[in-house]
Every structure is written in C-alpha cells, then in structure tokens.
C-alpha cells in the first residue's frame, strides 16, 4: 500500500498519512454467473499493479465511503480498462450486495494495489469460489506473454455448476489443465466432492513444485494442512498473507 505523506509547512514534521486513492466511474457491468459481475472502468493514470494483486475498494456514495473491501484486478496491468470480477453476497447486507446493483455511471474509490499472490511459474492452483480472481489476471497475463499455460494446473472448487466463474474462458486457455469440482450436485464431466486428501492423491502432487491457493480462510487452512502432510514446504505455497 502506498501513502501520500502530508507535512506541516513550518517544521516539515510529518502530520498525516493518507492512502493514495483514485475515483473511478463504472463504464459497464455484466453478469458472469448468477451472482457474480464483471465491472469495467477506465484504468486511472499511474495505477499499475502486478497480476494477482488487489485494491481496497469503496462505493463513492454517502454512507459507504469508509466501507472498504479488497477486490482483485482481473484485467491485464497494461490494459486501457480496469476490470474486477465480484461475487455478491446479499445475505451480508454489505458492499457486495450494493455492487450487484450498480449501474454504469456509478462511482467507486480504489486505493493502491497490494497483495502477495504472484506468478512464480508453472504449478498447481487450488481455488474455491471467488478465490479464482487472483488467478484470472495471472493466467491471462501469462497466456498473453508466453502464448501457452503449459505446466499450470487449475483445480477449481465450487458448490454448484452455476457458480463456476468464467468457466468457458478457463476451459479454453491454451495449455492449462483444468479440473472443476462441485460439491452439492452431481454433474457429468465435473468431479463431485471437495478437495480432500484422497482427491489430491488421485490427481498426484509433486511436493517440490509450486502451489497457489485462494478461497475462504477455512478452505486455505485445510488445503495448506493437506499439502504439508504430503511433504509440501510452506515456501512452495503462494497465498495471500493474513
Ligand atoms: C485480497 C483479497 C482479494 C479479494 N478479491 C475478490 C475479488 O476480486 N472478487 C470477489 O468477489 N471477492 C474478492 N474478495 C472477497 C471480498 O473481499 C469479500 O467477498 C467482500 O469483502 C465481502 O464484502 P461484503 O461487505 O459484501 O460482506 P462482508 O464484509 O463479508 O460482511 C458484511 C457483514 O455481513 C455479515 N456476514 C459476514 N459473513 C456472513 C455470512 N457468511 N453469512 C451471513 N452474514 C455474514 C457480517 O455481519 C458482516 O459484518 C477478496 C478478498 C481478499 C482478502
């Protein structure tokens, strides 16, 4: 996170740290699943980030400006447009419920990019639900740069088939091995169940390779424990820091 330092004119004493923020106007919003939207803005001048990074994001309207939530940039860092893919939780009565109701012309405020999920090269990505978002930018950027995702394997876990974000795009990324799991229904062509020890043993792990993970905290804790039981060193696991 970057800050703008404010100094007292008389003695140059630092008096305040203010995060650098950008006001954006929503250009377009489109559904990517029944409860997930893709939001498109113009990328502000000077807003640069690494694929996989997030920003603190607030709605620019009364009563909501202090309600900052982290969301990941889904677009490429050098693209003219800045995009987010955001899942709404109406039962939280929070920011994502409001985002689900946004319209072109609405304003948001974002701050400087931050985050520890980065592309360290080929490996296995374990994602659940909206935890796919850091890997959207990482996979898109790698594909644009190298022309193939050879050596990358995505294991993407969801409750139901209709919850799978950007399924067509992920399925058609050149060189990417994709395994979709759904836990609450049986669907031909998709694995049934959750990512557990038996599943990991079945797909086969190379403990010295790189593992990426993102999802709800309990998902990440469970997966980290399963990987460690199978000889994976913490240093080979790429995840967001607490
Ligand atoms: C680094 C990072 C990047 C992220 N990137 C993305 C992204 O790109 N896209 C995306 O979709 N998500 C992303 N997320 C997740 C996203 O930040 C959360 O979904 C979002 O903060 C939820 O905000 P909210 O205001 O709707 O609800 P919350 O802030 O979670 O909750 C608001 C209130 O709802 C209540 N509440 C909380 N949980 C529940 C529950 N399970 N049931 C009922 N009530 C509840 C509580 O009273 C809470 O105070 C990211 C998270 C992190 C940490």
Round to whole Å and give the CA distance between 227 and 241: 17
One domain for residues 107 and 127: no
List Cβ neighbours of 117 (8 Å cut-off, separation of 6 or more): 52, 53, 134, 135, 138, 212, 214, 238, 239, 240
In a domain, 117, yes or no: no
Phi, psi of 64 (to 5 degrees): -120, -10
What residue owns the CA closest to ligand 1's atom 10? 86
In a domain, 116, yes or no: no
Q: Are 84 and 74 in contact (CB under 8 A)?
A: yes
Please compute the mean of the pLDDT values over residues 144-155 and round it to a whole number: 98
How much of the chain exceeds pLDDT 90, in percent? 89
The confidence score (pLDDT) of residue 10 equals 59
158-172 pLDDT tens trace: 999 999 999 999 999
The number of domains in the chain is 2
In a domain, 71, yes or no: yes
One domain for residues 19 and 99: yes
In a domain, 68, yes or no: yes
Helix (H, G, I), strand (E, B) or coil at 171: helix
Please compute the mean of the pLDDT values over residues 70-94 and round it to a whole number: 96
The confidence score (pLDDT) of residue 14 equals 59
What residue owns the CA closest to ligand 1's atom 46? 92
Q: Is the CB of 115 under 6 A from ligand 1?
A: yes
One domain for residues 15 and 94: yes
**Ligand 1 atom closest to 133 (CA):** 8
Strand partners, 21: 111
Longest Cα–Cα distance of the chain, Å, equals 71
One domain for residues 133 and 103: no
Q: Are 122 and 177 in contact (CB under 8 A)?
A: no
Q: Is the pLDDT of residue 12 over 70?
A: no
pLDDT grade, residue 242 (50/70/90)?
A: confident
This prediction has a pTM of 0.92
> How many Å lie between the centroid of ligand 1 and the Cα of residue 173?
28
173-210 pLDDT tens trace: 999 999 999 999 999 999 999 999 999 999 999 999 99
Q: What is the mean pLDDT of the chain?
A: 94
Domain final position from 79, 111, 143: 111
∠ CA 136-202-197, nearest 5°, is 80
pLDDT grade, residue 228 (50/70/90)?
A: very high
In a domain, 189, yes or no: yes
In a domain, 172, yes or no: yes
One domain for residues 100 and 155: no
Q: How many CB atoms lie within 10 A of CB 14?
A: 9
94-139 pLDDT tens trace: 999 999 999 999 999 999 999 999 999 999 999 999 999 999 999 9
Domain residues for the domain of 176 are: 123-238
Q: Nearest to residue 153, comparing CAs of 199, 216, 222?
A: 199
In a domain, 75, yes or no: yes
In a domain, 181, yes or no: yes
């Amino acid at each position: 996170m970057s800050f703008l330092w404010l100094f007292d004119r008389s003695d140059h004493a630092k008096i305040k740290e203010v995060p650098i923020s950008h006001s954006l106007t929503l250009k377009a919003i489109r559904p990517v699943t029944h409860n997930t939207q893709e939001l498109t803005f113009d990328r502000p001048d000077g807003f640069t980030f690494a694929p996989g990074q997030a920003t603190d994001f607030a709605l620019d309207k009364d009563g909501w400006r202090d309600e900052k939530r982290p969301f990941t940039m889904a677009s490429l860092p050098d693209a003219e447009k800045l995009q987010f893919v955001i899942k709404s939780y109406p039962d939280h009565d929070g920011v994502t419920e409001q985002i689900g109701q946004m319209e072109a012309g609405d304003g948001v405020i974002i701050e400087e990019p931050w985050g520890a999920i980065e592309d360290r090269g080929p490996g296995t990505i374990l994602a659940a639900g909206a935890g796919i978002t850091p890997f959207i930018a990482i996979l898109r950027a790698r594909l644009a740069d190298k022309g193939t995702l050879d050596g990358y394997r995505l294991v993407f876990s969801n409750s139901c088939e209709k919850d799978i974000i950007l399924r067509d795009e992920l399925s058609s990324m050149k060189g990417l091995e994709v395994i979709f799991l759904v836990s609450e229904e049986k669907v031909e062509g998709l694995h049934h169940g959750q990512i557990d020890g038996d599943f990991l043993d079945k797909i086969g792990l190379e403990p010295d390779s790189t593992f990426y993970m993102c999802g709800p905290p309990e998902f990440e804790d469970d997966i980290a424990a399963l990987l460690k039981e199978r000889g994976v060193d913490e240093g080979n696991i790429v995840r967001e820091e607490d």
